[in-house]
Amino acid sequence: MSVGDEPTPQTRKLLLLMAAGATDRAIARELGVSERTICRRIALLQLKLGVRTRFQLGVLAASKRWL
C-alpha cells in the first residue's frame, strides 16, 4: 500500500468501496482478504495520511482526487 501522490490500485479500490458505503465484510470479500486485514489497511492508511477517522480519510482522499 503506497501512499504518495497516488494510491495503489488496490488502495484506490478499497477507498472507492468505502465511499460507496460497503461494510468491512463486503470490502474484504470483494478484495479477497479478511475483515481484519481491511481494518489494518484502513488504520495504516489513516496513520500514513495523518487522519484520525474514516470520515477524515474520505475527505482527504476526495480532496486528493483519489476517488
9-61, what's its fold?
Arc Repressor Mutant, subunit A (1.10.10)
The pLDDT of residue 2 is above 80: no
Q: What pTM value is reported for the model?
A: 0.83
Find all residues with CB under 8 Å of 35, minimum gap 6, and list them: 24, 25, 28
The pLDDT of residue 5 is: 66
Tell me what the mean pLDDT of segment 6-17 comes to: 90
| Domain range list for the chain | 9-61
